[in-house]
Structure 1
Amino acid sequence: IPECCAGFYGDACLLCPGNYNSPCNNRGQCVDKMSGNGTCLCKANFKGTACELCADDDHYGENCTEVCSCIHGECENGPSGNGKCKPDTCKLGFTGDNCDTHINPCGPDLDNCHAHAQCDNANNVIQCICNAGYEGNGMDCIPINPCMQPNRGGCHSEAKCTYISAGRNLCECEVNWTGDGYVCVPVDNCLLPFYGGCDPYASCIYTNPGQNICECRDGFEGNGLQCIPIDSCQINNGDCHSHVSY
């Protein structure tokens, strides 16, 4: 009896989200085999198409049980995070790994900084630092477009990255792909309720993401979208002997 190996799903035996050696990143159970749809049933504390995120955004660590120490910034969360603030995400007036250290005011020198920069006089050196989500020398600051960065804002290779505001973006899987934008998997029409548009008496065969072909099963004929029973008595007399009625 044909069957997919563990970690693969659907009639086409597609790879479960994650990778070959660790479906669902070993943080959940993939609904695999030919009867499965590739969904990851994540363990407690995890979420995401491939269970690649912590269920709580302020948690981090291998088991997503550690609480972020970042105070006035954006936490480096998730299973591979360190719980500290992401670089250049401290709110105005704060600095440090956890964005919990107040920056001393610079007096009139603050007027020289860009509107999207803050003044810092740490170690008695006055300098302007662009705010989180901006880059520049502090005198001139321009918004950072994550979609233009090498990692495309963390979006999957088959996802669209949309710029929202300085340092912020949205990831959405492309047509014929599904997921949370950070992880995208191919759409298998044969696993959807409309069964790829195939007739109930046809086999739906996955070819590419969002694409399939339909083939009538044995005993039926047609284009796969419509299949009718074959009357074998109308073909070579059903292979009956010449002296046998049919």
Structure 2
Amino acid sequence: MDECSMGAPCHASATCTNTVGSFSCECEAGYTGNGEQCTVESCSPPIGSDLMTFNPSNLLNYPINTIVTYSCVTGYEIEGNNPLSCDEGGLWSDDEPTCVDIDECDQTSEPVCDENASCSNLVGSYMCMCNDGYIGDGQSCNQITCPHLDDPANGSLEPPLTEDPSVFGDTVNVECEPGYSSSGNTERECQRSGQWSGVPFVCNDINECVEDTDNCDINARCSNNEGSYTCTCNNSYRQVGEDCELIVCPTPPVPDNALLVSSSRRQWLLNSVARYRCSTGYTMVGGPTSTCQESGDWSEQPTCVDINECELNSVRRPCDPSALCENTEGSYTCQCNEGYRGNGIVCELIICSTPSQPANGNLISDTPAPYLLASSVEYTCNTGFSLLGSASATCMETGVWSTPEPTCRDINECLDPSISRCDDNASCTNRFGSYTCTCNNDYSGDGFSCTRTFISFYRSSTF
């Protein structure tokens, strides 16, 4: 039996094929089903995504040969085959494409950002950011500049700014003059805002004395000045370079013919006073003191000049009125006048004692007593006596006679025939102050003349 001709239950869009003892239904091309039920053959609807659309997108079914075109949202591009067609069997000609991010920054043919900007790729987009030192939306970038800065008072900028504008990233430091320091920031930078960072530079005076940055000596006072300071040595100290040195004068000089009264000090400090007095025989010219000065030297010392004692008035004159005064350096000499003796300070008239007349002699003087210096006397002896000692004497400066008083002694005339004059035939007998001649026996005469006689008698002559 031919079920196909007998109205087999095949779908209208199916082909019925009779078989032995049965039949088969097969959907026609373009349809799918078991033959008894056939529906138009189509591909599953495209899926798409948030990033990808397709067209047509309003069909319930996508019949065979339907062509679908895909497109991506801005910033993405299709990766895969596009368009796709619905092929027989209800299959799409290829897998559905995907939308992948477009790297706009990699498109060098026509840069999307300003030449002074950096491009950052984003998912589905990109971002242009102006480089450091530039400002703008990235599509257009202008260089960031900051206003010109002037040197602060008492300072300067480093590096010095030129007429060219300062640009972003430029830094400038302040260098204050010696004696000044920067308050607040010491560096400013040109920022993205086109303004300098920090606050304006200010160079303030440094109070070195308060901050203990001075180099004053420990024995000095520090005084702050604008931009500097001064060191003043304390009392009794003086400036030697940067140091303060205790003012010590050397041992006071002692002028000629002077004596230092205050000489027991170990140190002669500032304003120490040295006192002087003159040696005996000198008088002082100038004040009796000298002062240790800030220079470490002594003020002028006095001088001691010789006193001419001989010119002093009669009350103070040192010599006796009967003396000659002779001034010497630092002293004087007194010499008694001629006819006086003594030390010159006291002089007495030179008087020799009155000499005695020698026994058996005579004293002869042209001047009467008293016998003064240089007075002279002479001595003589009587006949029959001879002078023993000097026949003259002079009154000397010592107040004594130049020679001792002589004596008159008896002359032994018998010893000197030239004196006795006795005859050769007589014998001589000495007498005190005289002598006798006696003729020898057998002679007669006065002894001075004797003649031989034969008459025996004795006769003598006495003189």
Q: TM-score, normalised by structure 2?
A: 0.24
**Structure with a larger share of its residues in strand:** 2
Q: TM-score, normalised by structure 1?
A: 0.40
